[in-house]
Amino acid sequence: MKYVATWWERSGGSFNDYEAAQKRVLEVFQSWKMPESLTFHQFVVRVGEFGGYAVIETDEPADIHRLSSAFAVFQFRVEPVMDVMDAVAAEVDAIGWRDSLSGS
């Protein structure tokens, strides 16, 4: 299954707290061992912000939860997604089924 993960920095206290959080997240990131179950198709940051987006594929959603838990300085939103052509095929099938109910 594919997921789009969005993350952004949590609201902090003072600028000292914010700067300390930036240093800590970089320290954690440098030591992080990515689970083999996660395939990153895209991994980008928003320019001028401390956050970004990733398109991740995995059959182990707990590993995405582990990832978001390790980087507690961020808030995460993770949404399941699918390729457009797969979605179109499912929609065509559903519409065909629905139209078969019309009695025509």
Q: How far apart are CA 21 and CA 40, in angstroms?
A: 24
Q: Minimal CA–CA distance to 68: which of 83, 82, 51?
A: 51
CA 23 to chain centre: 22
Q: Whole-prediction pTM value?
A: 0.81
Q: Give me the helices (H) in 1-104, please.
A: 15-31, 61-70, 84-100
| Residue 5: Cβ within 10 Å count | 19
The radius of gyration of the chain from alpha carbons, rounded to an integer in Å, stands at: 19
Instruction: Provide the pLDDT for residue 36.
Output: 95
> DSSP 3-state helix, strand, coil percentages of the chain (rounded to 5)?
40, 30, 30
Give residue 42's identity as a one-letter amino acid code.
Q
Give residue 94's identity as a one-letter amino acid code.
A
Instruction: Provide the pLDDT for residue 91.
Output: 97
pLDDT by residue for the chain (104 residues), tens only, comes to 999 999 998 877 888 888 888 888 889 889 999 899 999 999 999 999 889 999 999 999 999 999 999 988 899 999 999 999 999 999 999 999 999 997 65
